[in-house]
Structure 1
C-alpha cells in the first residue's frame, strides 16, 4: 500500500502532470508489468487510491466503478492494450471523465465513460467536443444511449422489418412517439444536444460521432438488438402457374428466403412477354407445375432474364411422375407436392444459397 502511494506521489510531481497524463504511467501505477502481466490486486488498489487530485471523489461505493473504468480503459479482450498505453490524455479530460463517471447515478454507463476516454486517447474526438461529450454522457440516461446506438445500427445496416421487403429506418424509431411519453422526452433531450436531426428524422453527424466515441464495436452490431440483416441478395421468383397451391408454395418460398436475409421479387408468366431484366436481382427461383410448356418466345425470354445468375427450379409434381425431359431447363431442381411443400422449399432455398456461396458472379448484377 505504501509503495503504491509513493509511486502516485512521484507522478504528481512530474513536470507533465498538470497538463498531460501518460496512459503508460497509469498502467505502471496500476501494477501492470512491462510484459503485460498484472500484479495481483494492484489494479484494484490503485483504483481505490487514484491520483491525489481525485481522492476526494472516492467513496466506498465508488470502488467497483473506478476499478471497472480503469479496467475498460486499459484492457481489451482480457489483455493489456498496448496501443492505448502509447497514448496520452489531457489531465483536465481525464479528471472530468472520472468525476462525471463517479457522480453518475447509473452504473451501466461506466463502460461508456471508459470507451469515451479511449476515443479521446486515440484522437477520435475533436478537442472542442470533448467537454460537450463528457457532459452529455452524464446528462443522458442509459436508455437514451441505447436509443442512439439502436438508431446508429439501423442507419448503418439494412435491417429486416417485421413485415414487408424494405428496411427499418431511423424515422420509424423516432416518429410516432406519444406526447409526454418517455420516448418523446428522450428524443427532445437528445435533439437539444445536437445528436438528432429532427428535420430529417435521423442521427446527426454529431450524434453518429458521439455514439461511436462512447461505444465499443460490439455495442453497434445488429444482433445486440435482436435485428436480422438483409444479405444484399435479391431473388427473382418466377411463378408460371396461377393456381392456389402455387401461391401457397410462393408464400413458403418468400418466408424461407426472408429468414435467410434474401429479398424476393415475384413475377408471373406474363412477365416473360417482356425483356425487362431486374438489374438488382442476384439469383432466381422458377416455380411451375409438372408438364408445363412455354411458348418459344417466352422460353427464350426466360433464358435471357435468368442470365448467368444462380437459379433453382421448383417443380410441383402432384402425381409424383418425375420426368427430367419435361423440365423447362437444365439445372438444379427441387420436386415438391403442393400438399406438403415445406421440406422441398427448404431444399430449394438451400440449393440456391449453395450456388450463391460458390459462384462469385452471384454477388454481381447479372
Structure 2
C-alpha cells in the first residue's frame, strides 16, 4: 500500500476528511482499482462483524433458526452490505436475530426486511422516537399534556417531508404515527434499552393525576411566584400541577379535586377571609383522606390550620424556589416517591400494539 498521506486516518484534503476506514475520497481516486477493492473489503468486513455482533447479542440466536432460513440470512446480509449507510449494520443484525427467535410474525418477515432496506438511519431514528412517544407519556415543553408521536415526525422542510413520504410509503407510519408494522420494525431492530424515554433524553409524567393549587389571593405577587415555582419544581420530577384556582362553589371544587392526586396545596396569605368562607368546599376531599398541604405565607394566621386538622403545614419562608422544593418533597412523600430516587418510566414494558390490521401492507397477512 502506498505511503501517500491522503490515504491515512486524520489526513485532510481541503474540506475532505478521511472516514473511519482510513481513506479519503481523493485518496481512493488516486489509489486506483486495487485500493478501492481493499477499501470495499474492509468495509464489508466491518459491516459483517457488526451484523454478527448484533445478531448474537445476548446469546439467544437459536442453533436451528427455522424462522430464518439460510436464504433469508444471505438476503439480509446482502442487503446490509449493499446499504449506503454503514451504521445500519447493527439494525440488520438485530432484525435477523428477532426473526430467528420468532419475535417477528412470519407474515411480516419480508415486509420488515424490505422496509429496513428502504429507509435511512435518520428515518429509522425518527420512527424510534415516535414509537417511544406513542408508548410513554412524555412530558411536553409546556402544559400538562403529553408529547405526540407526530412531534417527532415534523412535516416542515424538504428532508422532513421526504422522510414522512418514505415512511408512509412503506406503511411504517400513518397520519404521522407509527403503524403496527412500524412499531414491530422498531422493537425488532433496536435494543430494549434504546426504547426508553431516557434513551432519547425525554422524561415521563410520574402520575396521571394533577396536583391542585388553591389560593383566594390570586393577584398577590408572592402567591403567583410560589405557584410558578411549585409548577416548575413538580414538572422537573414528573408531577402535573393544575392552574392556580379559587373554587367558589361545590361544582368548581369537585372539578378541581376529583381525579386529582391524593393531596392538594393551599397557599394561605394574611387575607384569609375568602378561604375561611369557602372551607366547606374542601370537606369531600378531606373525607376521602386527601392531604391538604398548607403553605403559610408571611403574616398568615396559624389558626387557619385548625380548619384542616390533617394538614401538613409548611412555612412559606425563603425564596419561592426553596418553598417549592419543600412542597414537592411533601407531595412526593404522600405518593410514596423517594426524593433521592430517580424517576422510572410509567411502564417498564411497551404496551401491546393497537393499530388496525389495515396498517399492514396488502399481502402480508
- Confirm whether residue 289 of structure 1 aligns to residue 266 of structure 2: no
Q: Is the 8 A contact 2:139 2:146 kept in 1?
A: yes
Cα distance in 2 for partners of 1:91, 1:344 equals: 65
- 1:170-203 per-residue CA deviation (whole Å, 9 max, x = no partner) reads 233335413xx111101001111011113xx311
- Confirm whether residue 191 of structure 1 aligns to residue 168 of structure 2: yes
Q: CA deviation at 1:310?
A: 4.1
- Partner of 2:212, secondary structure, is strand
Distance 1:263 1:138, change over 3 A: same
**TM-score normalised over the length of structure 1:** 0.72
Q: CA deviation at 1:297?
A: 6.4
The aligned residue for residue 150 of structure 1 is: 129
Q: 4+ runs of 1 displaced by more than 6 Å?
A: none
The aligned residue for residue 227 of structure 1 is: 202
The aligned residue for residue 231 of structure 2 is: 254
The aligned residue for residue 344 of structure 1 is: 323
Distance 1:271 1:100, change over 3 A: farther
The aligned residue for residue 141 of structure 2 is: 162
Q: Is the 8 A contact 1:93 1:130 kept in 2?
A: no
Distance 1:138 1:75, change over 3 A: same
The aligned residue for residue 184 of structure 2 is: 209
Gaps of 5+ in 2: 1-39, 339-345, 347-365
Q: Is the 8 A contact 2:79 2:117 kept in 1?
A: yes
The aligned residue for residue 20 of structure 1 is: none
- 1:66-99 per-residue CA deviation (whole Å, 9 max, x = no partner) reads 22222222232xxx33x64564431121111111
The aligned residue for residue 130 of structure 1 is: 109
- Partner of 2:278, secondary structure, is helix
**Deviating more after overlay: 168-177 vs 229-238:** 168-177
Q: Is the 8 A contact 1:65 1:102 kept in 2?
A: yes
Gaps of 5+ in 1: 1-57
- 1:309-356 per-residue CA deviation (whole Å, 9 max, x = no partner) reads 344221112x4x7x644424232222114x722211101111110111
Cα distance in 2 for partners of 1:313, 1:87 equals: 63
- Confirm whether residue 239 of structure 1 aligns to residue 225 of structure 2: no
Q: CA deviation at 1:237?
A: 1.2
The aligned residue for residue 296 of structure 2 is: 315
Cα distance in 1 for partners of 2:166, 2:87 equals: 19
- Partner of 1:236, secondary structure, is strand
**Deviating more after overlay: 100-109 vs 307-316:** 307-316
- 1:145-176 per-residue CA deviation (whole Å, 9 max, x = no partner) reads 00000110111111111112211112333354
Cα distance in 2 for partners of 1:229, 1:153 equals: 11
Q: Is the 8 A contact 1:237 1:266 kept in 2?
A: yes
Q: Is the 8 A contact 2:216 2:275 kept in 1?
A: no
Q: Is the 8 A contact 2:138 2:146 kept in 1?
A: yes
Q: CA deviation at 1:128?
A: 3.1
- Confirm whether residue 334 of structure 1 aligns to residue 275 of structure 2: no
Q: CA deviation at 1:135?
A: 2.3
- 1:264-291 per-residue CA deviation (whole Å, 9 max, x = no partner) reads 1135333455452443211321111146
Cα distance in 2 for partners of 1:333, 1:213 equals: 51
- Partner of 1:136, secondary structure, is helix
The aligned residue for residue 276 of structure 1 is: 254
The aligned residue for residue 263 of structure 1 is: 240
Q: CA RMSD in A?
A: 2.6
Q: Which has the higher contact order (CA 8 A, sep 6+)?
A: 2
